[in-house]
Amino acid sequence: MKRVVIKVGSHVLTQDGSLAYDRIKNLCSLIAKAMDRYELLLVSSGAVAAGWTKLPLDRRLLANKQALAAVGQPYLISVYQACFDRYEIVVSQLLLGADDFDSRRRTEHARDAVETLLKHKVLPIINENDVTTTEELIFGDNDQLSAHVAYYFDADMLIILSDIDGYYDKDPRVHSDAKILKRVHNIEKEKLELECLPNGEFATGGIVTKLKAANFLLERGKPMFMASGFDLSDVESFLLEDKHKGGTLFEPR
């Protein structure tokens, strides 16, 4: 069975500062279907937004943000578990940081746990450990975390579900003539050095972190597919019908 990591961003998971329950439901339904064909791991943002629905603190302060993540992470997992109950899928939580991929021994321990979970058809739900990680040790965005998860946990592919339906030749929110790129084989160095401009209160990524994730995998011979997390039809065709209708495939040559 092929192994796939799906990463879903905060824009997809949240709406007006709260969790976007309908979108989470649709995502769970897609994952449940895909689990018949693939071993799946989910990298999910959304802990801070989930926390905010319970405790509306000012999330611009780091200590508040970490407190919100601490409140929100278990709540987010409980929302996922409730969703997956109807498919009789058990979920699990792995909180990882950059240091977990630093040492071979730590990575092996995490990998053994993942292998055991997958063998038993449990869905690992992964997030960065926002509460305790110190600044030097953070990825800071789940795009790059998910690329490490895909590479170190031996996935065949990473799928990033975003608020945009693919990678364009220029920012489609600024340029109305931007064109979607269906296949990308390499990413120019200067594109990776652009400033990260996250596009909302909860987002910490932007397109640059997605390109960095794609580049990390391309350099290691693995593909990444980027598609809309609002409308799941492109990712569904790609995963379940082997049809590349919409979305961008970053593919090693």
Binding region for ligand ADP (CB under 6 A): 9-12, 162-164, 167-168, 170-173, 198-199, 203, 205-207
Instruction: State the nearest-atom distance from the C-beta of 183 to ligand ADP, in Å.
Output: 14
Please, which residue, 51 or 110, has the CB nearer to ligand ADP?
A: 51
From 108, 86, 109, 106, select the one nearest 98 (Cα to Cα): 106
Reduce the secondary structure of 28-91 to three states and give it as a string. Answer: HHHHHHHCCCEEEEEEECCHHHHHHHHCCCCCCCHHHHHHHHHHHHHHHHHHHHHHHHCCCCCE
Instruction: State the nearest-atom distance from the C-beta of 172 to ligand ADP, in Å.
Output: 6
Instruction: State the nearest-atom distance from the C-beta of 200 to ligand ADP, in Å.
Output: 6
For tokens 């977990």, the residue is: 100
Instruction: State the nearest-atom distance from the C-beta of 129 to ligand ADP, in Å.
Output: 18
Residue showing the smallest CB distance to ligand ADP in the complex: 9
Q: How far is Cα 245 from Cα 230, in angstroms, rounded to an integer?
A: 16
For tokens 């011979």, the residue is: 221
Instruction: State the nearest-atom distance from the C-beta of 112 to ligand ADP, in Å.
Output: 29
Please, which residue, 110 or 227, has the CB nearer to ligand ADP?
A: 227
Please, which residue, 54 or 170, has the CB nearer to ligand ADP?
A: 170
Query: Is 13 within 8 Å of 48 (Cβ atoms)?
Result: no
How large is the angle between the packed helices 207-219 and 142-152, nearest 10 degrees? 20
Please, which residue, 11 or 59, has the CB nearer to ligand ADP?
A: 11
Please, which residue, 99 or 163, has the CB nearer to ligand ADP?
A: 163
Q: How far is Cα 32 from Cα 19, in angstroms, rounded to an integer?
A: 20
Element (H, E) at 125: strand 123-128
Instruction: State the nearest-atom distance from the C-beta of 179 to ligand ADP, in Å.
Output: 10
Please, which residue, 43 or 94, has the CB nearer to ligand ADP?
A: 43
3-state secondary structure of 113: helix
